[in-house]
Structure 1
């Protein structure tokens, strides 16, 4: 039976070599994951090392056709009336024309039930939305993590990181860094709380064992309904 290493929901096939001195990870063209190990490498230690590189792994996976974010997250069209979400609220896109000689106007802003977007930026729409949500996420998620960390009883890194995590909402680094996808700002606040508690709990329990879920339930007894919502509706956003 071939060796494998399971880290969260990822499975790495192990390839050992007498000539290899360090651990290497590859994401193959078919999106399979391979851990290249020295002949006598300890699987447990390698698993912890892989965990420190999960952000890189998920970003590589996201770049592969057929499994990237385009198959997990809805890709909006930048046309009048298109729907967008921010902190669980629904907004309709309205393209606006801006006078170049007029006062500075943000590319993205919310007004009432509308998301106002500068028409001349449509070709860069995905990028501009990601930038806007990323800026908003830094302050919001740092406040969220600070609110929950004492309840969970852990001491994460001082600041969260916000980036494109491919098809994951968040991840937890072994050094205590919490990483969140900028798209998390589309979720309702209570679901964001669940994701934050989930990752904070990983600072106590690294796997998804019953002990882990018991810890999540201790902190957030309603977590199952938020987890179900995320599974069923997260891809619609």
Structure 2
């Protein structure tokens, strides 16, 4: 049943956002790794009826995937937030800035912890990623033009043809070697704008044994995306 031009309902209880793409060659369903939003992408000439039927045929799969996703977790005092792969208990403190200890993340009293911690994580991610990308780019012999941070949902990093790198600042919550892998991955795209064997060989040269860090991100990336910093 249609409920507005940009959304349909599947199985009677699953809201599905519709998107049309002139580049799409087939219909695809994607479930956001955090929040469970379902997006149905349709080629320009595909009918809504066919899209509905396609989504309905996968209703049970959608329910299972959404059920297996972690609940959204607000950032607040008293919760443990991962920082560089280590859970840190968020506590208010008489301090002017965020302070990190072996097991605590101390946040200035009287300030919204989510907003403050988000800004701090962005700064940490920028420092770590600039250092990693500088190192990998020097080894590859291909400089990058700029580095930006975003809160992306579908990718952890990207590289443009003109050498601009983009990363998710949530990588600051991942183990350092995982952040380093994403940096190496995107820097390798400076030489190979594809995922060809040559690209993966370049990534391996930059970061030997990168496959295990890539696997960690596949297994645990959705946990990083589940954190909510602004309530």
* TM band (smaller chain): 0.5 to 0.7
Q: Is 1:204 matched up with 2:199? A: no
Cα distance change on mapping 1:63 and 1:86 into 2, 3 Å: closer
Deviation at 1:34, TM superposition (A): 3.5
Cα deviations by residue, 1:23-54 (Å, 9 ceiling, x for unpaired): xxxxx6545553448xxxxx9xxxxxxxxxxx
Cα deviations by residue, 1:170-225 (Å, 9 ceiling, x for unpaired): 11122211111111111112111110111111122222233322222233220111
Cα distance change on mapping 1:194 and 1:112 into 2, 3 Å: closer
Q: Is 1:139 matched up with 2:136? A: no
* Structure 1: segments with no counterpart, 5+ residues: 1-27, 38-42, 44-60, 99-103
What's the counterpart of residue 149 of structure 1? 137
Residues 76 and 83 in structure 1, CA contact (< 8 A), matched pair in contact too: no
Aligned length: 176
Mapping of 1:1-237 within 5 angstroms?
A: 29=7, 30-31=16-17, 33-36=19-22, 66=37, 75-80=73-78, 82-96=79-93, 98=94, 105-106=96-97, 108-122=98-112, 125-157=113-145, 159-237=146-224
In 1, the alpha carbon distance for the partners of 2:107 and 2:80 equals 12
In 2, the alpha carbon distance for the partners of 1:72 and 1:170 equals 22
Residues 150 and 167 in structure 2, CA contact (< 8 A), matched pair in contact too: yes
In 1, the alpha carbon distance for the partners of 2:197 and 2:36 equals 34
For the aligned residue pairs, the C-alpha RMSD in angstroms reads 3.2
In the TM superposition, structure 1's runs of 4+ consecutive aligned residues that sit over 3 Å from their partners are 28-37, 61-65, 71-74
Cα distance change on mapping 1:31 and 1:178 into 2, 3 Å: farther
Residues 172 and 200 in structure 1, CA contact (< 8 A), matched pair in contact too: yes
Is the partner of 1:120 in helix, strand or coil?
A: coil
Instruction: Give the TM-score normalised by structure 1.
Output: 0.62
Residues 35 and 72 in structure 2, CA contact (< 8 A), matched pair in contact too: no
Deviation at 1:147, TM superposition (A): 0.7
In 1, the alpha carbon distance for the partners of 2:216 and 2:71 equals 15
In 2, the alpha carbon distance for the partners of 1:32 and 1:155 equals 39
Deviation at 1:73, TM superposition (A): 8.9
